[in-house]
Amino acid sequence: MHTRSSSINGESIEPAFIDNGVPVFKPTMDQFQDFYKFNQLINKYGLESGIVRVIPPKEWVDSISSCYTKENLSKVNIKNPIVQQINRTGHGVFQQQNVERARKYNLEQWKELSRHYEPPKKRKRSHDEMMSNDTEYTVERCEELERAYWKSLTYSEPIYGADTEGSLFTNDINCWNVAKLPNILDLMEEQIPGVNNAYLYAGVWKATFAWHLEDQDLYSINYLHFGAPKQWYSIPQSQSEEFFNLMKDLFTDEYKNCSQFLRHKTFLVSPQYLKKKGITVNHTIHRQGEFIITYPYGYHAGFNYDYNLAESVNFAIPSWFDVADSTENCHCIPDAVNINVEQLRKKYKDYSNKVDLF
């Protein structure tokens, strides 16, 4: 990966370090303050690695502790979570079916439910005696669980509280509030849940998000409010075409039915399988109090290590307009996202000529 920086008026931000191909940023409060500008400054890194990880300054994390009041947490209402039926179609190749469960859960009930899906207990090194206390998600522990995940993927059906409308951020949080991030999608006339309206994601062990790109190849941001980490994988954009062609060969019928079949979020291939096929898989562990940002043409996938709650939304910066011109949408999903890009571009030009937009 190149390490030269993007810059605006001579300003630049570089990764603190690279974690298994994923640039990790640890901005100062001064750098972090302006979401729109920060994302333009780091853009070139994410457009190479597929995703980046951002560890926010401690003072920002401290400032949002007011969001986790009992009253605010009680508002989280997880509706119709999906039960994930995962079938092996080849060695390291899986297809997932998401079946809605017509139930509602508050956070307490979800936490209770997650106990039925707990990850395997850690084994003591000396012998097979199970450890009783297992709350530490060290890198080694996550690697152990990651191996267990890929070995036992088809043995049980995890449940995922995905796509729950709402936010845990309170209105008074103006900096990196996922529910109101200043960006080009603010100019849209309609509100689209999960696109320019935040979604909450309640995880349990093995709850999975299959390989996909965002709707209309937008950017996305995911903040892990609390709980166990998420495992993320991404494909560098330089290999996105190679990756797509491989998936097309593996899932030929699905591709014939819909050229945008990967937008269905139901196809899984293990990192080991991809590596054997010469495709680089970047990976990182996303922990509580951190952000993951995904980028156009950066295929990504992953799973949850246990009970957690994350919040996510799409966003766009000016460079997205070049991407949007060539994006293709899926036509077999009735509620597929379809943004009027020309209308948005015109609005952006009109506004940016008059004011400093964001």
CA dihedral (173, 176, 180, 181) in degrees, to 10, reads 150
Return the pLDDT at 147: 96
Q: What is the pLDDT along the chain (358 residues), one digit of tens a residue?
A: 333 445 566 688 999 999 999 999 999 999 999 999 999 999 999 999 999 999 999 999 999 999 999 999 999 999 999 999 999 999 999 999 999 999 999 999 999 999 999 899 876 544 453 333 446 899 999 999 999 999 999 999 999 999 888 999 999 999 999 999 999 888 877 766 657 779 999 999 999 999 999 988 999 999 999 999 999 999 999 999 999 999 999 999 999 999 889 988 899 999 999 999 999 999 999 999 999 999 999 999 999 999 999 999 999 999 999 998 888 878 777 666 678 888 888 888 887 765 566 6
Task: Calculate the average pLDDT of the chain.
Answer: 89
Amino acid identity of 122?
A: K
Return the pLDDT at 342: 85
Return the pLDDT at 193: 62
Residue 293: CA count within 13 A, CB half-sphere: 30
Residue 266: CA count within 13 A, CB half-sphere: 19
Task: Note if the pTM is more than 0.85.
Answer: yes
Return the pLDDT at 287: 97
How far is it, in rounded angstroms, from Cα 329 to Cα 129?
Answer: 51
Given a contact cutoff of 8 angstroms between Cβ atoms, the answer to whether 49 and 234 are in contact is yes
Return the pLDDT at 102: 93
Return the pLDDT at 2: 39
> In this predicted model, what pLDDT tens digit does every residue of 101-125 receive, in sequence order?
999 999 999 999 999 998 998 765 4
- The domain 7-354 having CATH identifier 2.40.50.140: the answer here is no
Place of tokens 């940002």: 293
Return the pLDDT at 18: 98
Active site residues: 194, 201, 212, 214, 300, 312
How far is it, in rounded angstroms, from Cα 223 to Cα 76?
Answer: 16
Return the pLDDT at 141: 95
Q: Where are the domains of the chain?
A: 7-354
Instruction: Count H helices and E strands in the chain, helices first.
Output: 11, 19
Return the pLDDT at 192: 65
Return the pLDDT at 10: 65
